[in-house]
Amino acid sequence: MMEHDLLIEIGTEELPPVALRLLSESFRDSLDSLLRENHLAHGKAHAYASPRRLAVHIENVPLTQPDREVVRRGPGILAAFDENGDPTKPALGFAHSCGVTVAELDQLETDKGSFLAWRSVEQGQPAMEIIPLLVERALKDLPVPKRMRWGNSEVEFVRPVHWVLLLLGTETIEADILGITANRYTRGHRFHHNEKIAIVEPRAYVETLENKGRVLVDMDRRRETIQTQVMAAGQSLGGRARIDADLLEEVTALVEWPVAISGSFDQRFLEVPAEALVSTMQDHQKFFPVEDSDGQLLSHFITVANIDSKDPQQVKAGNERVIRPRLEDADFFWNQDRKQSLASRTEQLNTVTFQQKLGSLGAKQVRIGRIATTIADQLGFNNEYAQRAAALSKCDLLTSMVYEFPELQGTMGRYYATHDGEAGEVAAALDEQYQPRFAGDALPETPTGQALAISDRLDTLVGIFAIGQPPTGDKDPFGLRRAALGLLRIIIEKQLDLDLRSLIDTATGCFADELVTDLNADELFGFLMERLRSYYLERDYDADEFAAVLARQPRCPLDFDQRLAAVKAFRRLVESASLAAANKRIRNILRKAETTIPRSYDPTLLQEPAEQALAAAIGKLEAVVRPLFENHDYTDALRELAALQAPVDKFFDDVMVMTDDTAIRDNRLALLNVVSELFLQVADISRLQG
């Protein structure tokens, strides 16, 4: 079968940079899938994108679909013919619908019986007729939250479309896509070569655009080019470029022909906190900062132009001129904010609303203080530090610097607290209260920072649940899922022995009674446990392992973690499967028993050697595992209990539990209950799947 490469390019106005890679890869993946669904098996699919285009190159696409045998199933043989062997109405109707006689039909044998069938061959369609429909479908399925119209057209897309290129081999596919007639022409760089460029065949696309159009259309190659240029520019400045991965990706999506250009600013601005300078350069100007070998900022930056200018000095001067007012602002805010201490801003927090029903930031800060000091007392942290950090925790939100650069909340609190002479741990906690800020972010290092971060999140969770606004579906306006996961990570990964259920009660008590009358603490605890489930599933624990521990409802996340690790280790033992099955059998027997089961068994009523052996094994193990349970050494405890596998199996082989003798039966039930309770000291291992 003849095959040719396929090339599709959609030329647009500048696409949203943060979504460019997603759009590009989604376009490729959708086309790849649609071609296969339509029986056009092909080779590798390549995604290309720049600010002004989305393109896909697919290798070895067949020129036509293969012919396919189509089998239509009709009525069953028994219903198709009467007792004389003549065709019935269902058989005649089926044959008529197929355009043939009953005699021309075949017989189809299946697991459900024999049926009349008609086999025909469906001729494959030319790829050129199918591809335009698939392109339209793929474009429609792109993850675009809001589409736009332009001009008088009814066509909708993420940005206005100016050209469409469709090539199969060397032939143009005739089609109208998004209101544009397709052809073989692309366009070059907006400034270097804003003209039509003919693409002879798909494999020449990338090279032609680069050589004639001054466009690097491969995003990965463009990203590498930018990184190489920026690193080289940093070295030429006597330092090294600080390359943020997200910024690098965004800049890659902003340019078609990248040219790195360095610039400088007045050294006096280096007296401003580095985070404010970096935020100005990275977030606002899309510049790469430059630092020395010790990680200290230098008074230089690197920008990536989308043009190879004949006068790069003019570009450099322009960027230096643009960044200066931003740095002047940061310098001004830094100096002005320090004229007033953080503590002096406390009263003003009472005028700032945290949430309409939950009151002001001042009220929230007071609640955080009560929770934080409770945590500090429980864990032996410095109570005074916790109280002071909580009292200052939201004050930097009222500073000019944070108003201008919201992403610096906490960070500026640390700087201003240090300037005010606050204790180092208190100052650090003001920054650490927001950690982790995102998935995989670092956790608070100081005890005070840990207490403050937990308290802030818990106060928000309890408050928002109390006013009846928990997350629903994919809507989570208060970021409660992120807050819950951060809280749990801190407790578990910093090994803080905290009773989460008790902390919820503490946080609830910090609100006015009328606000929390409808709070369902069990619902909130369940929400936290669901977040905990996601946390562990992402760390390669199995759902049934989590369920086994959750069945015991541990109130302390650290204790939960220790139990779960023990279940994971237990599962690797050869005895685990048999003991899990035995525990499931025991739980079923105990649940169905129509009697009150004694709390302990009577050794004098043990008659069979198997039940006597099991009782002896239990007696020996109880003394061993009791101190292990007390020390939360669950892994070793389960490893010891694995020795019960043989006597438990022997018991079920040799002993009839539900005997007619009531005393003997209840005693055996009590013995099994002891076995079950031993394992339940850790988890309900009956929930482990085979």
What type of residue is 323? I
Q: Where residue 1 falls among pLDDT bands split at 50, 70, 90?
A: low
- Note the pLDDT of residue 184: 96
Task: Report percent pLDDT > 90 for the chain.
Answer: 81
Assigned token pair, 666: 């209840």
**Model confidence pLDDT, tens digit, residues 548-595:** 999 999 999 999 999 999 999 999 999 999 999 999 999 899 888 877
Is the pLDDT at 312 greater than 70? The verdict is: yes
CA distances to 53, 138, 147, 152, 218 from 160, rounded to whole Å, are 11, 17, 10, 12, 22
Q: How far apart, in whole angstroms, are the C-alpha atoms of residue 304 and residue 300?
A: 14
Instruction: For residues 443 and 451, give the distance between their C-alpha atoms in angstroms, rounded to a whole number.
Output: 12
650 burial via Cβ count (<10 Å: 0-12, 13-18, 19+): middle
Beta partners for residue 3, in sequence order: 62
CA dihedral 421, 423, 425, 431 (to 10 degrees): -30
623 torsion bin: left (phi>0), alpha (psi -120 to 50), beta (else):
alpha
The stretch 48-62 carries a mean pLDDT of: 97
Paired tokens of 246 = 């997200």
Question: What is the Cα–Cα distance from 474 to 398, expressed in whole angstroms?
Answer: 31
Instruction: Please measure the distance between the N-terminal and C-terminal CA atoms of the chain and give it in whole angstroms.
Output: 49
Q: Top-level CATH class of 3-65+126-211?
A: alpha beta
Please say whether the structural domain 344-540 has been given the CATH code 1.10.3470. no
Fold match, 3-65+126-211 / 573-687 = no
Confidence of residue 515 (pLDDT cuts 50, 70, 90): confident
Among the CATH numbers 1.10.730.10, 1.10.490.10, 1.10.3720.10, 1.25.40.10, which is that of 573-687?
A: 1.10.730.10
Look at residue 201 and give its three-state secondary structure: coil
Q: Work out the pLDDT band at 660, boundaries 50, 70, 90.
A: confident
Asked if residue 188 has pLDDT above 80, the reply is yes
Judged by phi (left if over 0) then psi (alpha if -120 to 50, else beta), residue 73 lies in: beta
Show me where the domains of the chain are located: 3-65+126-211, 71-121, 240-334, 344-540, 573-687
Q: Give the pLDDT band of residue 119 (cuts 50, 70, 90).
A: confident
| Spatial distance between the Cα atoms of 504 and 391, rounded to a whole number of angstroms | 21
d(CA 307, CA 416): 42
Segment 157-182 mean pLDDT: 95
For range 118-128, the mean pLDDT: 86
- DSSP per-residue codes, 366-402: HHHHHHHHHHHHHHT--HHHHHHHHHHTTGGGGSHHH
State the angle between helix axes of 576-592 and 645-654 in degrees (0 to 180), rounded to the nearest 10: 50
- Residue 295: how many other CB atoms lie within 10 Å: 10
- Exposure class string for 480-490: b at 16+ Cβ within 10 A, else e: bebbbbbbbbb
Q: What is the pLDDT of residues 224-282, one digit of tens each?
A: 999 999 999 999 999 999 999 999 999 999 999 999 999 999 999 999 999 999 999 99
Residue type, 385: Y
| pLDDT value of residue 509 | 92
Look up residue 27 and give its DSSP letter.
H
Model pTM greater than 0.75? yes
pLDDT of amino acid 240: 96
pLDDT of amino acid 67: 84
Provide, rounded to the nearest whole percent, the portion of the chain with pLDDT above 70. 100
Give the pLDDT band (50/70/90) at residue 86. confident
Distance (Å, whole) CA 91 – CA 97: 10
Residue 72 is inside which H or E element, if any?
Answer: strand 68-76
**Mean pLDDT of the chain, nearest integer:** 93
> By the 8 A CB rule, do 605 and 632 touch?
no
For the chain, what percentages of helix, strand and coil (3-state, to nearest 5) are there? Answer: 55, 15, 30
DSSP code string of 77-134: HHHHB-TTS-B-HHHHHHHHHHTS-GGG-EEEEETTEEEEEEEEEEPPPBHHHHHHHH
Residue 643 above 80 pLDDT?
Answer: yes
Please answer whether residues 650 and 605 qualify as being in contact, where contact means their C-beta atoms are separated by less than 8 angstroms. Answer: no
